[in-house]
A and B are shown apart, each in its own frame.
Chain A
Amino acid sequence: MPMSTQPVPARPASLTTLWLLLFVTVVGMLIAPQLILRAPTEPTMGFVQRIFYFHVPCCWLAMLGALTCGVCSALYLFKNSEKAEHYAVAAAELAVVFGLTAIVSGPLWARKAWGVWWQWDVRLTTTVLLWIIFISYLFARRYGGPGGRRLAAGLALFGAADVPMIYFSVSLWRTIHPKTSVVPTLDPGMRPAFWLSLTTFTVLFVLLMQMRIRLETARARYSELHLQAQDAGLIED
């Protein structure tokens, strides 16, 4: 029997796993607002500080998506792993989605906290740069022609390199953005709301990744069938 030379696509999660992830996410999203409303009000910024409970998870997931895409793109480039490429594109789309939510929710908070909608602060600028890099990834992958996937994978490596710069920027340079020490030194009354929100968003990220990988696997299957149909003469080129 001849050995298969077809690339191995990612195996999507079963429907049971998806439903379980969805259940955990929904429960978390129902409980989190209750805890957020009951959390103590920050004395300096007031009510607007509650954006923190969604803004930080969005930033965290944007960076997680970027790192995941970078690692999987490296596997695709150097090991020719189709499965890694499916994970990479899923992670890139989520990096764009959560990056956008971070870039929108941050200025809404900043308007009250800093008095301005936007500052060309290091952290804010590098976050926008990350977002633009992954939009470029998606464009290159879609419109880059035959070598588009490899070009996009190369872009993802730069995007992943931006993540430590975003994280450590507040420690290395003088910035207006709060430092990373805010989370470990959080008020005890705020911790349950924050950690539940972060956990729920992370589970949501895993769920959305699995949904997106299912789509990519379906595309790979469709391409395979399309080629077979062309070989059988059922479809013209």
Chain B
Amino acid sequence: MSRRLPVRLLRRSLFCLLLAGLPLSQSRADVAPPTPTAAAPAPAPAAYPAAAKAPAGPDSEGFVPDNRPANMSGVEEGIPAGPLVATAYGFIWAAVLAFVGLTARRTRQLELEIAQLAERLPPVKSASPS
């Protein structure tokens, strides 16, 4: 009985791995290249200016070569760097100033309360040395 338990665990773990692999294989099938019977090849996207001509049709195995340039220097990035840098610096300044403001305000309030409390207290009489 004790020998059969690891075998059962091994079988169950293999079965679970098989089940886990199924969605992955299905997702690969979902993004499979178009079959040769597709109506027309997709036009090149506007963001890649070097890909002027239409891509070649699929080969016998259905593979469509990607003719985007290897050098992506001509590709226009979506987010400009300036606003990112400004946002980073602005956030740091805002956080520091918020901390300074909150601390100064709490200190001021507390010092007022200390002054009010000290006024209400009777003066402390110093003990005479024995």
Residues of chain A having any CB pair with chain B under 8 Å: 1-2, 46-48, 50-51, 54-55, 58, 93-94, 97, 100-101, 104-105, 108-109, 111-112, 204, 208, 211-212, 214-215, 218-219, 221-222, 225-226, 228-229, 232, 234
Contacts and interface: CB of A to CB of B under 8 A. Distances in A.
A97 B95 contact: yes
A14 to B, nearest CB: 15
B103 A47 contact: no
B52 to A, nearest CB: 25
Q: Which of A48, A50, A222 counts the most B-chain CB atoms under 10 A from its CB? A: A48
Interface in B113-130: 113-114, 117-118, 120-122, 127, 129
Interface stretch (B4-12, B58-66, B77-85): B77-85
A222 B89 contact: no
Contact of A1 (B89, B91, B100, B127): B127
Contacts of B81: 46-48, 112
Given A208-B99, A222-B117, A234-B120, A108 B88 contact: yes
B114 A221 contact: yes
B112 to A, nearest CB: 10
Nearest to A102: B92
Contacts of A221: 114
Contacts of B122: 232
B110 A222 contact: yes
Nearest to A53: B89
Given A101-B95, A109-B84, 5 more contacts: A1-B127, A97-B99, A211-B100, A225-B117, A228-B121
B84 A212 contact: no
Nearest to A205: B96
A101 B84 contact: no
Contact of B110 (A104, A105, A218, A228): A218
Interface residues of B, number: 30
Given A218-B111, A225-B117, A204 B96 contact: yes
A208 B104 CA distance: 10
B26 interface: no
Interface of B: 77, 79, 81-82, 84-85, 87-89, 91-92, 95-96, 99-100, 103-104, 106-107, 110-111, 113-114, 117-118, 120-122, 127, 129
A215 B107 contact: yes
B99 A48 contact: no
B117 A229 contact: yes
A208 B110 CA distance: 18
B7 to A, nearest CB: 36
Nearest to A101: B92
A209 B120 CA distance: 31
Contact of A208 (B89, B100, B113, B117): B100
A115 B61 CA distance: 32
Contact of B88 (A54, A93, A204, A214): A54
B116 to A, nearest CB: 10
B129 A1 contact: yes
Contacts of A232: 121-122
B101 to A, nearest CB: 11
Please list the 8 inter-chain residue pairs (A to B) with the smallest Cβ-Cβ separation, ordered nearest first.
A48-B81, A105-B88, A47-B81, A218-B110, A225-B117, A101-B92, A108-B88, A215-B107
A225 B85 contact: no
Contacts of B88: 51, 54-55, 104-105, 108-109
B107 A211 contact: yes
